[in-house]
Amino acid sequence: MAEPLTIALPKGRLTDGALALLARAGYPVPSNGDNGRKLVLEGADRRLRFIMAKPSDVPIFVEYGAADLGIAGLDVVREAERDVYEPLRLPFGYCRLVVAGKADRPDRPLRLERSPRVATKFPRLTEAFFRRRGLAPELIVMSGSVELAPLVALADLIVDLVQTGTTLRENGLTELRVVLESQAVLIANRASYRLRAGEVRALIDALAANVMSKT
């Protein structure tokens, strides 16, 4: 039997949606019981092998071909700017990458800001967003709770992911602009797309059928 296709899945908020979609598409997935410390898991029918990765690493696994396919947030894919195919948008993981600031900040257009200090986990997208508007942001790249930054005057603004907006509200922040509407996407390695065309196509079609039937 041939090697299974390797798919990189993001650990965290997208895990359940990704596993559920794959299961609906007819691919046996590791049960939550397996889904603890092991980072590489085999599917029961040996068609898929699963790599459980940090979300921002998924595009890297896929670009290098360490994984043939991956599921990641569009936000992460755009930030990573890796050379991968994006055959399918998936119907989960909806969120927005937004610019937010303190709720009591003066109400004026962003373009009149001097040189805002912006805390974010998405430096590339943030830089591009502000540069396009003629602003030179001072980026503070963080890896933890970005919402904290304006509260302690570390930053004027933040660029972060928002699902419901509750976290922002609870911290006295308000959404100012949408940088990117995000959702889960299926990404594919350029070489695997060709070298394993049949299996990759079968998986895309199986997922697509489920995406359609849901919407």
Partner 1 sequence: MPAQVFSLDRPLPEGVRDLLFADAAAWRELESTLRQTWTAWGYREIILPAFEYADTLATDVGAEIDAEMYRFFDRQGRTLALRPDMTIPTARVVGTRLYDQPLPLRIAYVGSVFRYEPPRAGRQHEFGQAGVELIGAAGREADAESVALAVAGLRAAGLPTFRITVGHVGFFRGLLNALALPEKLAGQVRRAVDRKAEAELAALLVEAGSVAPAARAALLGLPRLTGGVETFAAARPLCLNARMTNALNDMETVAELLDAYGVADVVTYDLAEVRDLDYYTGITFEGFAPGLGFNLVSGGRYDDLIGHFGPPQPAVGWALTLDRILLARELQGVIQAEPAADVLLGAATCPACLRWAAAARARGLQVEVDPLGLAPDELWRSACARGISRVVIHDRDQGLVVRNAAGQRTVVADDWEEVLRWRNR
Contact residues for partner 1, defined by CB under 8 A: 62-66, 83-89, 188-195, 197, 204, 208, 211
Nearest of 186, 116, 189, 127 to residue 155 by alpha carbon: 116
CB nearer to partner 1: give 151 or 191: 191
Spacing of C-alpha 21 from chain mean position: 16
CB of 96 within 8 A of CB of 181? yes
CB nearer to partner 1: give 52 or 187: 187
CB nearer to partner 1: give 81 or 138: 81
Q: How far is the CB of 3 from partner 1 (least distance, A)?
A: 9
Q: How far is the CB of 125 from partner 1 (least distance, A)?
A: 16
Q: How far is the CB of 209 from partner 1 (least distance, A)?
A: 13
Polymer length of the chain: 215
- Tokens 């994006």 belong to residue: 86
Q: What are phi and psi of 19, to 5 degrees?
A: -65, -40
CB nearer to partner 1: give 88 or 162: 88
Q: How far is the CB of 186 from partner 1 (least distance, A)?
A: 10
Q: How far is the CB of 210 from partner 1 (least distance, A)?
A: 13
Token digits of residue 179: 């940088």
Q: How far is the CB of 208 from partner 1 (least distance, A)?
A: 8
Nearest of 90, 74, 71, 70 to residue 212 by alpha carbon: 90
Q: Is 53 exposed, middle or buried (0-12, 13-18, 19+ CB in 10 A)?
A: buried
CB nearer to partner 1: give 46 or 190: 190
Token digits of residue 165: 């907006």
CB nearer to partner 1: give 126 or 189: 189
CB of 203 within 8 A of CB of 5? yes
CB of 67 within 8 A of CB of 51? yes
Q: Is 21 exposed, middle or buried (0-12, 13-18, 19+ CB in 10 A)?
A: buried
